[in-house]
A = this chain, B = another copy of it.
Amino acid sequence: MNIRKLANICGVSVATVSRVINDKGNVKEETKEKILKTIEEFDFVPNALARNLSRNETDVIGVIVPDVSNAFYIELIKGAMIEASNNNLNVVFFNSQGDIKNELKAMKMLREQRIRGMLLISCVKKNEVDVLRKGVKNLNIPMILLNKHIENLNYDGVFTDDVMASYLLTEVLINNGHKDITILTGSENSIVAYNRVKGYENACKDYGINMKKENIIYTNFNDVETAYNILRKMAEEKRMPKAIIAGNLNINLACIKVFSEFNIKIGEDISLVAFDDIKILNELGIKVTVVSQNPNDMGRQAFKLLINRLKDKNSPINKIHVVPELLIRGSEKIKK
C-alpha cells in the first residue's frame, strides 16, 4: 500500500492524500473524511523515508554517548529526550564505548542518515584531540558538544567547569582543617582528569598548601575496581589518607566500598568529597558532599542550543559553562 494506490481507491490524486496526511493545504471536509477512513481501513502507514527524501530533511537528532550505563550520561540523555519530544524530534543513540573510532563511525552513519543535528558527548582523550578535530572538519551538520570542552573546536556546547568544581571540593576540605589532601582521579590521558587535578592544584596554591606528588593518584574513571584495589591496599597497609577527593562516580563508589569493609566512618574517621551527584546514593541514604553538574539540566540546555542552531545557522557560537553546585552533606567533616 502506498499513497498512489490509496489515492486511486479514494478516486482522488496523490496530492490530495498528501495534504490530508500532513494536514496542510485546503481539502474539502468530505474528501478529507473519506481519505482518513480509507487510511484507517487499509491501515496505511506513510513511508517516512520517502517523505524525508522528498523534503530533504529528517526529524531525528543523533546522540553519541560514551557509555549508556553511566548514570551521569543517562541523566544527560533524559534531559535531551524531554526537549526532543517537546520539539517533535526523534532521538537516535550511539554508544561509542569510550572508543574515538566508534565515535567517528557513529558520526558518519548519522551523516548518511541526514539527521537534523547531533549531540556529542565525546570520549576523546588528551592525545586524540587532533583525530577528533580532523573527523569533524567538514561535518556540515549542526552539532552541540556536551560535558567536555575541547579546545579549538568551534561548536556550541554545554560544558562542566571541572577546574572550578575541583577547586570547590578542595576548598571544602581545606576549610575543614585539612592540609594533606589526596585526590584519586582518572587516567593521565583523560581531559576531565587533567582539569580536575588542575582545580585541586589551584586551590592548594591559593591556600598555601604544599602539594606532595603522591597525593595525586591516577586510577581509572571507567571502572570501580582500579580505585578499589588501590584503596584496599592503602587500608590494609594502614596508610589511608585523612581526606580524599573522589574524582568521579566510580571512584566514589570504590571509596564507599572500602570504607565500609574496613569500618571507616565517612565524616568521622575520614573526610570524603566527590564529583557527580547520583540519585541512587541518596536513595540509599549515603551522604557524600559533592559537586553537582546537574546533568539533566545540561542535556536540556544542550538540546535548546541545538534548536537555536537549527533555526539560525549563522548565529554566534554559544558555549555555556555550567557553574558547579556544591552540595554539603557532612562527609567533609572529620572527628579530631
A258 to chain B, nearest CB (A): 8
Q: Does A27 sit at the interface, judged by CB under 8 A?
A: no
Do A49 and B45 contact each other (CB < 8 Å), given the known contacts A93-B92, A253-B284, A283-B253? no
Q: Does A214 sit at the interface, judged by CB under 8 A?
A: no
A54 to chain B, nearest CB (A): 9
Give bound CA distance, A113 to B49, whole Å: 6
B48–A112 CB distance below 8 A: yes
Q: Does A81 sit at the interface, judged by CB under 8 A?
A: yes
Contacting residues, chain B, for A50 (C-beta < 8 A)? 53
Q: Does A286 sit at the interface, judged by CB under 8 A?
A: yes
Contacting residues, chain B, for A77 (C-beta < 8 A)? 68
Say how many copies of this protein the assembly contains.
2
A114–B285 CB distance below 8 A: no
Q: Does A11 sit at the interface, judged by CB under 8 A?
A: no
**Per-residue B-contact encoding for A30-63, CB less than 8 Å = 1, 0 else:** 0000000000000101111110110000101000
Q: Does A237 sit at the interface, judged by CB under 8 A?
A: no
Q: Does A320 sit at the interface, judged by CB under 8 A?
A: no
A313 to chain B, nearest CB (A): 18
B93–A91 CB distance below 8 A: yes
A92–B95 CB distance below 8 A: no
Q: Does A109 sit at the interface, judged by CB under 8 A?
A: yes
Contacting residues, chain B, for A280 (C-beta < 8 A)? 253, 280
Contacting residues, chain B, for A284 (C-beta < 8 A)? 253, 256-257, 260, 284, 286
Give bound CA distance, A261 to B284, whole Å: 10
Q: Does A111 sit at the interface, judged by CB under 8 A?
A: yes
* CB < 8 Å neighbour of A47 from B71, B91, B114, B224: B114
| Interface band, chain A | 35 or more
Q: Does A162 sit at the interface, judged by CB under 8 A?
A: no
**Nearest residue in B to A48 (C-beta to C-beta)?**
B112
Give bound CA distance, A60 to B156, whole Å: 29
B49–A283 CB distance below 8 A: no
Q: Does A108 sit at the interface, judged by CB under 8 A?
A: yes
A261 to chain B, nearest CB (A): 6
Q: Which 10 A-B pairs have the closest CB atoms?
A: A48-B112, A257-B285, A49-B53, A253-B283, A45-B111, A260-B285, A224-B283, A48-B113, A92-B92, A49-B52
Given contacts A261-B285, A284-B284, 10 further A-B contacts (CB under 8 A): A47-B112, A49-B114, A68-B74, A69-B71, A74-B74, A90-B92, A91-B92, A224-B283, A253-B280, A280-B280
Can you spell out 26 A-B residue pairs with CB atoms less than 8 angstroms apart?
A43-B138, A45-B111, A47-B53, A48-B112, A48-B113, A48-B114, A49-B52, A49-B53, A49-B58, A49-B113, A60-B92, A68-B77, A69-B75, A69-B78, A74-B74, A78-B95, A91-B92, A91-B93, A92-B92, A250-B283, A253-B284, A254-B283, A256-B285, A257-B284, A260-B284, A284-B286
